């Protein structure tokens, strides 16, 4: 084949791919999940924001953190023709913050609840559940520092999964404190690891130097063993962060949301403060995080805005679809695109012209109508109608045209009757009402 999609980038098709392993790469499934997300967001009072796919590189290097994998080696960055350093968006939050500052939203809306559905790009080593282009469904709530909002944001994510039928997942929470407490903890962690440093993985050793907390976010069995008795971040929290965490736990309990406190949960970006959380699935192998997020009270100021607290999350679309597939959950997808399929018997010019007009009239009246332009005979056309699962067929021939009527046939009961062309739209609207 001459052209192939790039490594770890995939197509989403209107038909399920023949290989069942990839049947999740289906547009109807994506649309269903997106609609569910929009619906849950609407009920929680969130409005949609859309930001460009390209941004200045510095927006990410400054805010995600130079020591993170994404910034150090995984961004798709290049110079445009004006020699500007630009990058494909690796995550959603920094762009949303930039857009809100640029459009004065923080000033105009002191309580701002936004959601987005967007594509992210990371030049990661791909595997199941890990792609170089992936889609995230995310929310950001700005302006409120109170832990009630943390609980509400988490409840939104939990509601979304619950309503999709993904009950088989675990909520993990932690607090990463504030930069000062994190610094003290980072040093304590270094002190603890130092005697074993030469036994740590190469990645672990790098993180020891660059960003010690990230040592905790490892999949290396050796590193995990070394870290087993490492000091816990919660024991180093400043009093305010500690109180915030306690309040969040109480609110989650009040909402009946089960969680575990995970001392090793630190998340991939440097901008988090206080709350960090992740929703972990059981069907994703090593790429087990369905989604995650946290509070980022210093980010807006970092990006040049007035100090504004914020909290948000990003949920991975692909991992959600894979989980639905592996759990055997079948979503109530709309059946067949075509409600009505027109069968035209013959190829006389007037017949073809009229058939096109009738199709247009049906579509203009909100009815999904189609025909097979390849044949003038009945059997191949009815076969196409069946393959598209059309509920009704309309048969138009020379005789019907002469009498200004059409044959209306119910494809499941096979009942057929004649309808005057002048009342066809009304008749079909009544049937589909």
Q: Which residues bind ligand AMP (CB under 6 A)?
A: 91, 122, 124, 129-131, 134, 136, 268, 289-292, 314, 316, 318-319
What whole-number distance in Å separates Cα of residue 224 and Cα of residue 335?
Answer: 48
Distance of CA 237 to the CA centre of its chain: 32
Could you identify the residue written with the tokens 């269903």?
32
Nearest to 12 by CA among 27, 28, 22: 27
* Cβ distance to ligand AMP smaller for residue 285 or 336: 285
Return the structure tokens found at 16: 């399920």
CB-based closest residue to ligand AMP: 316
Minimum separation from the CB atom of position 60 to ligand AMP (A): 12
Toward ligand AMP, which CB reaches closer, 134 or 207? 134
What is the three-state SS of 109-160?
CCCEEEEEEEEEECCCCCECCECCEEEEEEEEEECCCCHHHHHHHHHHHHHH
Q: Could you tell me the smallest distance in angstroms from the CB atom of residue 231 to ligand AMP?
A: 24
Q: For residues 119 and 410, which CB has a smaller minimum distance to ligand AMP in the complex?
A: 119
Judged by beta carbon, residue 32 or residue 392, the one nearer ligand AMP is 32
- Give Cα 367 distance to the centre of its chain: 30
Judging by beta carbons within 10 Å of its beta carbon (0-12, 13-18, 19+), is residue 350 exposed, middle or buried? exposed
- Toward ligand AMP, which CB reaches closer, 126 or 231? 126
113 versus 130: smaller Cβ distance to ligand AMP: 130
- How distant, in Å, are the alpha carbons of 29, 37, 329, 396 from that of 325? 10, 18, 6, 42
Smallest distance from ligand AMP to CB 89, Å: 11
**Closest CB 412 distance from ligand AMP, rounded Å:** 41
Question: What span, in angstroms and rounded, lies between the C-alpha atoms of 276 and 288?
Answer: 16
Closest CB 167 distance from ligand AMP, rounded Å? 17
Q: C-beta of 285: minimal distance to ligand AMP in Å? A: 13
Instruction: Kindly tell me which of 76 and 109 has the beta carbon lying closer to ligand AMP.
Output: 76
State in angstroms the smallest separation of the CB of 69 from ligand AMP: 10
d(CA 185, CA 126): 32
CB of 132 vs ligand AMP, minimal distance in Å: 7
Give buried/exposed letters for 174-185 (b at 16+ CB in 10 A, else e): bbbbbeebbeeb
HSE, CB side, 13 Å, CA atoms: give it for residue 5. Answer: 9
3-state SS string over 170-200? EEEEEECCCHHHHHHHHHHHHHHHHHHHHHC
Q: Smallest distance, Å, CB 326 to ligand AMP? A: 14
Please state the closest distance from residue 215 (CB atom) to ligand AMP, in A. 17
**C-alpha dihedral (322, 328, 332, 336), degrees to nearest 10:** 80
Looking at the Cβ atoms of 124 and 170, the one nearer to ligand AMP is: 124
Specify the residue, 71 or 289, whose C-beta has the smaller distance to ligand AMP. 289
Tokens found for residue 257: 């949301």
Residue number, 322 or 344, with CB nearest to ligand AMP: 322
Kind and range of the H or E run holding 86: strand 85-88
Find the DSSP H helices in 255-368.
299-302, 317-326, 349-364
| Shortest distance, position 314 Cβ to ligand AMP, whole Å | 4
270 and 114 Cβ atoms separated by less than 8 Å: no
Closer residue to ligand AMP (CB): 49 or 394? 49
CA-CA distance, 344 to 2, in Å (whole number)? Answer: 39
3-state secondary structure of 400: helix
State phi, psi for 258 to the nearest 5 degrees: -75, 145
């Amino acid at each position: 084949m001459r052209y192939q999609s790039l490594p770890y980038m995939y197509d989403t098709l209107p038909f399920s791919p023949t290989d069942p392993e990839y049947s999740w790469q289906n547009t109807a499934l994506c649309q269903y999940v997106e609609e569910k997300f929009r619906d849950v967001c609407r009920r929680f009072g969130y409005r949609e924001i859309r930001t460009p796919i390209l941004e200045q590189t510095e927006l990410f290097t400054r805010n995600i953190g130079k020591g993170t994998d994404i910034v150090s080696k995984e961004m798709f960055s290049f110079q445009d023709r004006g020699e500007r350093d630009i990058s494909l968006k690796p995550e959603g939050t920094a762009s949303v913050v930039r857009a809100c500052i640029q459009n004065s939203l923080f000033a105009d809306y002191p309580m701002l609840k936004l959601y987005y559905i967007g594509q992210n790009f990371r030049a990661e080593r791909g595997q199941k559940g890990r792609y170089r282009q992936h889609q995230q469904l995310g929310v950001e709530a700005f302006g409120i520092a109170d832990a009630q909002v943390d609980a509400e944001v988490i409840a939104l994510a939990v509601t979304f999964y619950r309503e999709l039928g993904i009950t088989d997942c675990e909520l993990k929470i932690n607090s990463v404190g504030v930069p000062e407490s994190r610094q003290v903890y980072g040093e304590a962690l270094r002190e603890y690891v130092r005697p074993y440093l030469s036994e740590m993985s190469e990645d672990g050793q790098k993180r020891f130097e660059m960003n010690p907390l990230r040592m905790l976010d490892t999949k290396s069995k050796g590193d995990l063993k070394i870290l087993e008795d490492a000091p816990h971040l919660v024991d180093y929290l400043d009093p305010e962060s500690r109180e915030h965490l306690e309040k969040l736990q109480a609110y989650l309990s009040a909402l009946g949301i089960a969680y575990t406190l995970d001392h090793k949960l630190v998340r991939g970006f440097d901008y988090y403060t206080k709350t960090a959380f992740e929703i972990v699935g059981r069907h994703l192998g090593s790429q087990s995080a369905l989604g995650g997020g946290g509070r980022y009270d210093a980010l807006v100021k970092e990006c040049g805005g007035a100090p504004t607290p914020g909290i948000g999350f990003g949920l991975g679309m692909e991992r959600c679809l894979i989980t639905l597939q592996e759990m055997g959950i079948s979503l109530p997808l709309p059946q067949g695109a075509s409600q009505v399929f027109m069968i035209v018997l013959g190829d006389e010019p007037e017949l073809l012209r009229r058939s096109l007009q009738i199709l247009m009239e049906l579509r203009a009246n909100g009815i999904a109508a189609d025909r097979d332009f390849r044949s003038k005979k009945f059997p191949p056309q009815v076969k196409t109608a069946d393959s598209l699962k059309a509920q009704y067929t309309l048969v138009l021939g020379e005789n019907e045209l002469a009498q200004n009527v059409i044959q209306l046939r119910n494809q499941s009961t096979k009942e057929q009757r004649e309808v005057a062309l002048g009342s066809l739209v009304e008749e079909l609207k009544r049937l589909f009402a």
